[in-house]
Amino acid sequence: MQENNKARQQLFEELEERKHQEVEEALRASEGRYRLLFERNLDAYAFHKIIVDEHNKPIDYVFLEINENFEKFTGLKRDDVIGNRVTTIIPGIENAEPDLISLYGEVALNEGQKRFDLYFQPFEKWYNVSVYSPEKGYFVVLFEDITERKRISEELEQQVEKRTHELKESLEKLRKTQDQLIVQEKLASLGTITAGIAHEIKNPLNFINNYAELCEEFLLECEQKIDQQNNKIDLVCKKEIAESFENLKHSTKVISEHGKRIERIIRSMLLHSGGKKGEREPTDLNCLLHEYANLSYHGVRAQHFSFSAAIDNDFDDSIGLIDTIPQNLGQVFLNIFNNAFDALLKKLETRESKFIPKLWLVTKNFGEHVKIRIKDNGIGIPEDIASQIFLPFYTTKPPGQGTGLGLSISHEIIVQHGGKIQVNTKEGEYTEFIITLPKYC
């Protein structure tokens, strides 16, 4: 019986021993599995204990455990790290930005957690860091080396910026081209309208001019015939007939003169409308200026009969012929003169009778280039507006009265000629446009 009990006891102990061994094996296996998991973690892992001073202020931390990736990402070796303080391993870390000791200390002491991107100066690397505290005074740091990702994203950002810049530039170019197209369109349609009107007027004008000449001839003939009948007409009647003849002669002369003037205007209009498009030719600048000043002046006077202005010319004859596209340059002068006369008319509306509207035209030869000054003593341009007048569609005229394209087209044409156009003005006093043109293109 006693032997039986002993054997049973032995069996029980053996079973206990085997069970213990099995449990230990299972534990070892699971620890191995966890270690493997821990080692193979894609992130670097480090477990630390925070060290505080007498005021509970974090001043350092000690490495308790790290994984393989920690070694890989930081270049630090396990044997140099475990059990050591960070200030010994990475001297100067206490002064680095951001202050990691305080940051980790706060998490460790409050059992909190944080996540952030960090550029770690001592290793010159970017890390994505997660820190949490599993127990007060301890903290785990998991981090990933994102230096390459940052570099790629920075590169991408730069590329996007470059591309955006390129896009902006092409958009700007597109806008400019669009503006130019509008300008060309306006020039073209103005040209077509002008040419159409000029041709329409030309025919009846030819009749007027030709018949005016014929009338002069008929009058001469009549005069001669009456002279031949001199004896048959009494004195009083003769005097009356002579007076009528004088009146008739004067009237036909006026018709003929003004008919010729219209003819000149029509010729200018046709020239301005551009029979030959865009061709440069030797141009007498002074003559062109004079011609367009007249064209504009008569245009204004046709609408405002009582308007008159003194036009003062100071032309430099040494300029000679310069290469321009005359119909385009004529368009510039016409725009500037029209604006000038508008400004003079506006000033007349507000000023007392003492005001004398004036226009000054000056040309000057500077050898390689010439300068043209067109000045009026009209209403001038307010300072804040002066910078905008060359912008397409900028106008101060009431809707329907101005397109605001005059000066922008003019600017375009002058640039096309390799020149520049500037404005000097004083509100209420004067406006002066200065055009500089190269003599040779």
Instruction: List residues near ligand ATP by CB under 6 A.
Output: 335, 339-340, 343, 376, 378-379, 381, 389, 394-397, 402-408, 431
Cα separations in angstroms, 51 against 55, 131, 136, 404: 11, 16, 12, 76
Find the shortest distance in angstroms from Cβ 243 to Mg ion: 49
* Closest C-alpha to 318, from 286, 277, 279: 286
Find the shortest distance in angstroms from Cβ 159 to ligand ATP: 41
Find the shortest distance in angstroms from Cβ 302 to Mg ion: 17
The nearer residue to ligand ATP, 165 or 397, going by C-beta atoms, is 397
Cα separations in angstroms, 179 against 184, 272, 341, 402, 408: 9, 21, 27, 17, 9
**Nearest to ligand ATP by Cβ — which residue?**
406
The nearer residue to ligand ATP, 129 or 379, going by C-beta atoms, is 379
For residue 8 the two structure tokens come to 């049973």
Q: Is the peptide bond before 91 cis (omega within 30 degrees of 0)?
A: no
* Closest C-alpha to 338, from 284, 292, 289: 292
Is residue 406 a contact point for Mg ion (CB under 5 A)?
A: yes
Say how far apart CA 272 and CA 437 lie, in whole Å.
Answer: 19
The nearer residue to ligand ATP, 324 or 335, going by C-beta atoms, is 335
Find the shortest distance in angstroms from Cβ 267 to Mg ion: 23
Find the shortest distance in angstroms from Cβ 434 to ligand ATP: 13
Chosen from Mg ion, ligand ATP, none, partner binding at 405 (C-beta under 5 to 8 Å by type):
ligand ATP
Find the shortest distance in angstroms from Cβ 340 to Mg ion: 9
**Nearest to Mg ion by Cβ — which residue?**
406
The nearer residue to ligand ATP, 40 or 397, going by C-beta atoms, is 397
The nearer residue to ligand ATP, 322 or 405, going by C-beta atoms, is 405
* Residues paired with residue 435 on neighbouring β-strands, in sequence order: 372, 421
The nearer residue to Mg ion, 46 or 269, going by C-beta atoms, is 269
Find the shortest distance in angstroms from Cβ 397 to Mg ion: 8
Residues binding Mg ion: what is the number (CB under 5 A)? Answer: 2
Reduced to 3 DSSP states, what percent helix, strand and coil does the chain have, rounded to the nearest 5?
60, 20, 20
Distance of CA 144 to the CA centre of its chain: 45
* Residues paired with residue 130 on neighbouring β-strands, in sequence order: 115, 142
The nearer residue to ligand ATP, 61 or 337, going by C-beta atoms, is 337
Residues 6+ away with beta carbon under 8 Å from 157: none
The nearer residue to Mg ion, 69 or 335, going by C-beta atoms, is 335
The nearer residue to ligand ATP, 125 or 272, going by C-beta atoms, is 272
Chosen from Mg ion, ligand ATP, none, partner binding at 395 (C-beta under 5 to 8 Å by type):
ligand ATP
User: Mask 284-323, x = binds Mg ion (CB under 5 A)?
Assistant: ----------------------------------------
Whether the CB-CB separation of 85 and 110 falls below 8 Å is answered with: no
DSSP H or E stretch at residue 280: none
Chosen from Mg ion, ligand ATP, none, partner binding at 403 (C-beta under 5 to 8 Å by type):
ligand ATP
Find the shortest distance in angstroms from Cβ 406 to Mg ion: 3
Cα-Cα end-to-end distance for the chain: 133
Inter-axis angle of helices 406-416 and 147-228, nearest 10: 100
Chosen from ligand ATP, Mg ion, none, partner binding at 376 (C-beta under 5 to 8 Å by type):
ligand ATP
**DSSP-assigned letters across all residues of 421-434:** EEEEEETTTEEEEE
Chosen from Mg ion, ligand ATP, none, partner binding at 357 (C-beta under 5 to 8 Å by type):
none
Chosen from ligand ATP, Mg ion, none, partner binding at 381 (C-beta under 5 to 8 Å by type):
ligand ATP
Chosen from Mg ion, ligand ATP, none, partner binding at 87 (C-beta under 5 to 8 Å by type):
none
Sole window of 74-82, 224-232, 311-319, 402-410 interacting with Mg ion (rule: CB under 5 A): 402-410
The interface with Mg ion within residues 322-381 (CB under 5 A) comprises 339
Q: What's the burial of 323, exposed, middle or buried (CB within 10 Å: 0-12/13-18/19+)?
A: middle
Backbone angles phi, psi at 304, to 5 degrees: -125, 90
Find the shortest distance in angstroms from Cβ 336 to Mg ion: 8
User: Could you tell me whether strands 113-120 and 430-438 are parallel, antiparallel, or unpaired per DSSP bridges?
Assistant: unpaired
The nearer residue to Mg ion, 189 or 247, going by C-beta atoms, is 189
Find the shortest distance in angstroms from Cβ 425 to ligand ATP: 7
Token look-up 């025919």 returns: 203
Considering all CA atoms of the chain, what is the largest pairwise distance in Å, rounded to the nearest integer? 195
Which positions lie near Mg ion, rule CB under 5 A? 339, 406
